[in-house]
Amino acid sequence: MTTVSPSLRVSELAYAYPDGTQALFGVDLTIGRGERVALLGPNGAGKTTLVMHLNGILTAGHGSVEVAGLPVRKDTLGEIRRRVGLVFQDPDDQLFMPTVREDVAFGPANLGVRGPELELRVKEALELVGLPDVIDRPPHHLSFGQRRRVAVATVLAMRPEILVLDEPSSNLDPASRRELAEVLRSLDVTVLMVTHDLPYALELCERSLILSGGVIAADGPTRDILGDPGLLAAHRLELPYGFVVADRPY
């Protein structure tokens, strides 16, 4: 293990909803700086609940979450939310300002960034997702794929330690899906990708975790996990029809 604090460390995280439903039963995971990791799991496995803990929207019933060494607590929420960039599944939920420029500026402006520095952050983030030209457009005039990429830009503008994406490939047509993959691959940031899309996980993430029944059921190279039909079947995960994981990459 390295001496630098990992981007994300979750230990013994357990959580029950107020109605008593237990969603997480002791989750342990560590994600090193610069890693791209896929979090796989069937519906109802607790993926969203786990994600909500990463930036303190939900607070741990038991256990702890640390982002680059900083524990998630009430008094650290501001900094935690800067460090963890959450990209929601529906870009219409994420893009709520009248123009792309204001939306991308929203996060850094909340951090107190103003003036030319703010303008720079907005341009830089849109540049990173390959959409510098849409800056003055209203979000609802963009295509779905563009909206998803702008949603990524809105959190990149906060210069996060870790980017957490909820089902990034959902509802994208093949070209938008590839464009997003290219963007994600080009970023110099730790990525945690929550997904059902196993080929997308294989394409982008060297490592995968399976969250099932509220615990981490598997943790290893994506290639090994997807190559184990028994493991996948045990957790209601399936590769698309006709899809075979090649023995050697490309």
Partner 1 sequence: MGAGHRHQLYRPGNTVVHRLPPQCKLPAVAAFAVVVVATPREVFWAFGVYALLLAAVASVARVPASFMLRRMVIEVPFVVFAVALPVIGLGERVEVLGLSLSAQGLWAAWNILAKATLGVMASILLAATTEPRMMLLGAQRLRLPSLLVQIAMFMLRYMDVILDEMRRMRVARESRGFAARDVRHLPVLAKSAGALFIRSYERGERVHLAMLSRGYNGSMPIMNDATASARSWATAALLPAAALATAVLSWSVS
Q: What CA–CA distance (Å, rounded) separates 120 from 118?
A: 5
Binding mask 73-112 for partner 1 (x = CB under 8 A): -----x--xx-x-x-x-x-xxx-xxxx--x--xxx-xxx-
Residues from 49 through 68 that contact partner 1 (CB under 8 A): 55, 57
Number of Cβ atoms within 10 Å of the Cβ of 7: 26
C-beta closer to partner 1: residue 5 or 48: 48
Q: What CA–CA distance (Å, rounded) separates 66 from 88?
A: 21
Q: What CA–CA distances, in Å, run from 145 to 64, 98, 204, 233?
A: 35, 18, 18, 31
Question: Letter for the amino acid at 82?
Answer: R
CB of 18 to partner 1, least distance (A): 15
Binding mask 10-49 for partner 1 (x = CB under 8 A): ----------------------------------------
Q: CA triplet 245, 90, 130: central angle to 5 degrees?
A: 70
CB of 141 to partner 1, least distance (A): 4
CB of 65 to partner 1, least distance (A): 14
Residue in the block written with tokens 């994420």: 94
Strands across the sheet containing 70-71? 22-31, 8-16, 62-67, 70-71
C-beta closer to partner 1: residue 133 or 182: 133
C-beta closer to partner 1: residue 109 or 217: 109
Tell which one of 140, 171, 186, 243 touches partner 1 (CB under 8 A): 140
Number of Cβ atoms within 10 Å of the Cβ of 11: 15
Cβ–Cβ under 8 Å, residues 15 and 21: no
CB of 81 to partner 1, least distance (A): 5
C-beta closer to partner 1: residue 177 or 207: 177
Catalog residues that contact partner 1 under the rule CB under 8 A. 55, 57, 78, 81-82, 84, 86, 88, 90, 92-94, 96-99, 102, 105-107, 109-111, 114, 118, 138-141, 154-155, 158
